[in-house]
Structure 1
């Protein structure tokens, strides 16, 4: 079967490999959709960072956002059946540490922790072996394209919305309108946010968010942005989410939070600097750090999207066949697209 690998020099390598077979407690998935995440670009595609075997890319089949159909069951599988449509939680943990028992395999502390597409084979291939415990059912209303995005990006955004406790009484500001930022806006609207504001340095991303109906106000970041937000929200948003990972973006998110409001940081890498008294203490603000989500919450995310009639695949701007993976990665690395995925037959 055909599979895509990331050598680490901004290239993609296609190889013919043997079709895998599921072991005990595992299933074989026929792949239908496999997303490309920003972390794939930053940490693997351009240059392999670090040499810790627990976290660094180990030269496996790429792709940590898989969705597909169960076509073979290994011994001991009890909860899924042939033909089930699933997304895959992209970290397989030990199952016994306290983080795993909470469903947060992303924070598993055991050396056996392995991420699909990083330390074990991922979704950029025709078939994938996954542990049954890592699977999440897709409701009939959600497509495989929805599912692959939920596997990481949408799940990450969903957890941020939960940490911020977004409700119908809240105005929300999302800083950074890449795929995860747009997903956060979609989910906040689903939870009833009364006002949604999106901010990005790129005008085309702001326009995309407007065109998808994700924002009530889209702002191109500049010197006056904080004042604009304060005017629109009458003093600040109840919940702000930074998806930019940029020091200025993080500071804007914090300063745009109203007194007693909640600010959630999910954008990876880089520092932030702020005045502790003026920006945090005296305004009684709370900062949350959030990393991916839990298997339980990913299940709930699928149920909520079904109930709300929302589709993350609306944020997908480009889909490529597996043999076009190099072009897909080039586009995603350019930073101007929406979500980019590898799509297979039936997706």
Structure 2
């Protein structure tokens, strides 16, 4: 079968590799869609910068997979051949407190492995997954919907749940890449009365408005945000992973408001007394989501008739994975996906 590896230096290496066979508790998934995450670009595609949970081990890339079950190993009880599934992209030990709560992302066991980072991911015709890492993909959602949920939409949903966004709130989204777009769409679905987005890229601001992810999109100056939000938004989410963006999110959160920091990377320097303590802010560090929350999101997307694939602005076949990564790395559009011809 064909598979795409990420050797660094902004390259993609396509290889023929043997087809895997499922062992006990494992499932073989025929891939239908596998989207590209900003973390792949930041820590693997350009250079192998990651350490610990982000250390790339030379495996098949892609940690946002969705597909159809084609074979199951012994001991598999919950899924069957033919089932449509999303793969939660962290396979934890299954025994620690974090795993038992569904937050395999926070598992610290030596055997923890992320698909596309420490074990083979979704940029291949077949993916070998643990049954416990699979979530049922509702028939009403497409495989591209599922792939976008597998990381980006799930990450945004977790942050908004932690901040408790509702119809009482205005929301500020800093950084209008794919996760920021997801945060805007979800904040609206969850009841936010107004969503303001900021990004230095005019192209991304235009896309956010076109998709209906935000009501207003600005460059992010204090003057622009003051004019739109006055004393600040009740809820803010930073998706920029940039220190300046993170500070913008905090400074434009209203007194007693709630903020979530989602974007990876960046160094934040903040006057703790002035910005946080005296303004009584609640700040959440929010890392991906849990299998429980992701399953909840999949059901809610059906209820809301919200299709995450709206964020996908380019798709490529696996043989064109190098072009897919170049397009994603350009950062001008929305989500980029690798798809298979029989993605139905």
Classify the TM-score, shorter chain.
over 0.9
Deviation (angstroms), 1:50: 4.8
Q: What are the residue-to-residue correspondences of 1:99-248 with 2, within 5 Å?
A: 99-221=98-220, 225-248=221-244
1:345 aligns with 2:341: yes
Question: Number of paired residues?
Answer: 343
Structure 1 outlier segments of 4+, above 6 Å: none
TM-score between the two structures when normalised by the length of structure 1 = 0.97
The CA distance in 2 between the partners of 1:220 and 1:306, in whole Å, is 33
Q: What is the match of residue 259 of structure 1?
A: 255
1:307 aligns with 2:303: yes
Q: CA-to-partner distance for each residue in 1:20-50, whole Å, 9 max, x for gaps?
A: 1111111111100001111111111111125
Q: What is the match of residue 13 of structure 2?
A: 13
The CA distance in 2 between the partners of 1:133 and 1:259, in whole Å, is 41
Structure 1: which 5+ residue stretches go unaligned? none
Deviation (angstroms), 1:10: 1.0
TM-score between the two structures when normalised by the length of structure 2 = 0.98
The CA distance in 1 between the partners of 2:237 and 2:163, in whole Å, is 8
Q: CA-to-partner distance for each residue in 1:295-326, whole Å, 9 max, x for gaps?
A: 00000110111110001100100000000000
- 3-state DSSP class of the match of 2:296? helix
- 3-state DSSP class of the match of 2:9? coil
The CA distance in 2 between the partners of 1:218 and 1:51, in whole Å, is 35
The CA distance in 2 between the partners of 1:276 and 1:137, in whole Å, is 43
- 3-state DSSP class of the match of 1:139? coil
1:49 aligns with 2:49: yes
Asked if the contact 2:207–2:333 (Cα under 8 Å) also holds between the matched residues in 1, the reply is: no
Q: What is the match of residue 28 of structure 2?
A: 28
Select the residue among 259, 268, 279 that pairs with 1:272: 268
Deviation (angstroms), 1:227: 3.2
Q: CA-to-partner distance for each residue in 1:113-169, whole Å, 9 max, x for gaps?
A: 000011111000001111010001111111000101111111111111111110011
1:92 aligns with 2:91: yes
The CA distance in 2 between the partners of 1:202 and 1:49, in whole Å, is 25
The CA distance in 1 between the partners of 2:258 and 2:338, in whole Å, is 35
Q: CA-to-partner distance for each residue in 1:227-261, whole Å, 9 max, x for gaps?
A: 33233234210100000011111111001100100
The CA distance in 1 between the partners of 2:236 and 2:57, in whole Å, is 36
Structure 2: which 5+ residue stretches go unaligned? none
The CA distance in 2 between the partners of 1:283 and 1:325, in whole Å, is 47
Q: What is the match of residue 319 of structure 1?
A: 315
Asked if the contact 2:44–2:50 (Cα under 8 Å) also holds between the matched residues in 1, the reply is: no
The CA distance in 2 between the partners of 1:50 and 1:207, in whole Å, is 32
The CA distance in 1 between the partners of 2:23 and 2:327, in whole Å, is 36
